[in-house]
Chains A and B, each alone.
Chain A
Amino acid sequence: MGASHGHRLHYHGHSPIHRAPAHLKLAGLVVFMLLVVATPREWVWAFAGWFGVLVAVVLVSTVPPTFLAKRMVVEVPFVVFAVLVPFIATGPRVEVLGVGLSEPGLWAAWGLLAKGTIGVLASLTLAATTEPTEILAGLRRLRVPDLIVQIMGFMIRYLDVVTAEFSRMLVGMRSRGADPRSPRHWPTLARALGALFIRSYERGERVHLAMLSRGYDGRMPDLSRSSR
């Protein structure tokens, strides 16, 4: 339906994974992640298995691996943290390439990396194969509280509006000689972010007024097309 050339995380396709009902995919993702997180990190082979399952799903979905790989950058902060752990953690030391590292730290880093990577990749696969509106419908079918689903819906709707507003602010900063990338101008950047927060908050109030003006009473009305 709706040929919305939607979200930057979404990859248009017609695979069985794309067509599967959103609530099944969501439930599948949650169960899969619970299993992954519950797996003891010493069971290295089990993680290979989980990863294999995930790769199979990605292959079936026809989403190009590079598409997902590029979007895996969100994991970078966790990777940095994981790399630091073996240096900082205490406990018995082991020699790796001539550097003494904490053994429990290495295990912790491995666990974090393995579980984090599988988690991020699985979530990205869901996002790549499911339109945001379908995810919301799926959450509703899974009986997630309506208020939470509404908030997520607004987040999706206004993400682009707020990003566009922020990029206009950045253009404004650059035009007046501040480089948002340079640490010297980070205080300015922080103030701009503060202003963005206030603006978004005020927009939220205006949206609420517009909703009230059209008879909103706290519950999302039934918008389905067929009367069931």
Chain B
Amino acid sequence: MSVPVLDVRGLAHAYPDGHQALFGVDLHVHRGERVALLGPNGAGKTTLVLHLNGILTAGAGSVAVSGLPVVEENLREIRRRVGVVFQDPDDQLFMPTVRQDVAFGPANLGVKGAALERRVTEALDRVGMADFVDRPPHHLSFGQRRRVAVATVLAMEPEILVLDEPSSNLDPASRRELADILRSLDVTLLMVTHDLPYALELCPRSVVLSEGVVVADGATRDVLTDDALMRAHRLELPFGFDPGSVGSLPS
């Protein structure tokens, strides 16, 4: 049927020091899907993410975004299509004001003047941060900074949003607010996380990456209730959390 938004085939990668992080990863994500990428520390999740927008180049195999291969000459368009939100918002927000930070991505794509301003306002509106447009990012709370970080990427109108540990360091209220925002976005989502309840809440589908290969790919509830799989790959649910007992999930 349709071309997948994300088409990763046989992706392998070894770092210059010889450490091999990925051993042939296959992953397809279709338009409108919300997928959680799970796996223990050192499984290669971040390495995989850095291949999706061409920061790292494939040692073997290929990555394509909506049919466009991730290669040097396409990087500009690839980075428009794939929006990566990094884990530490202080790494993502590097401009003196929120406005300039959100404008940075689209301005690199050549958007100017009133159109640029519109992009900024819309992106901040979508994460509920429009009132903070003239503030310096370092004066915001951590949860607010994470939301602005999402806006910096939304302003580029990506086809897929890739989030690295979106719930880390958030207090429960900010965590829930971010979930509401992510659910409200009409965008394909790939979410790298250790927060398994968050994956269950937001992502109907989960992919488990372990030691550089995909070891499971299925409905999140099925993955989380597969005890043998979970144990084999150092995935543990928080104490007292039973995915089977969670009723209907918010859609």
Contacts and interface: CB of A to CB of B under 8 A. Distances in A.
Interface in A127-182: 132-133, 136, 153-154, 156-158, 160-161
Contacts of A227: 112-114
Given A4-B136, A6-B136, A227-B112, A215 B92 contact: no
A94 interface: no
A223 B104 contact: yes
Interface string B67-97: 0000000001001100110101011101111
B138 interface: yes
Nearest to B52: A213
A160 B113 contact: no
B152 A206 contact: no
Contacts of B135: 2, 4
Secondary structure type dominating chain B contacts: helix
Contacts, number: 99
A8 to B, nearest CB: 13
Query: Which bucket holds chain B's interface residue count?
Result: 35 or more
Given A156-B96, A223-B100, A225-B116, A215 B138 contact: no
Nearest to A164: B138
A136 B95 CA distance: 12
B96 A214 contact: no
Interface residues of A, number: 36
B75 to A, nearest CB: 8
B80 A215 contact: yes
Interface in B105-161: 105, 107-109, 112-114, 116-117, 134-139, 152-153, 156
Contacts of B193: none
Given A207-B94, A210-B84, 6 more contacts: A5-B139, A133-B97, A154-B94, A213-B86, A223-B107, A227-B114
28 contacts: A1-B134, A2-B97, A2-B134, A4-B97, A4-B139, A132-B96, A153-B95, A206-B86, A209-B50, A210-B91, A211-B104, A212-B79, A213-B83, A214-B104, A214-B153, A215-B105, A215-B156, A216-B108, A217-B76, A221-B103, A221-B104, A221-B107, A222-B107, A222-B112, A223-B100, A223-B104, A223-B116, A225-B113
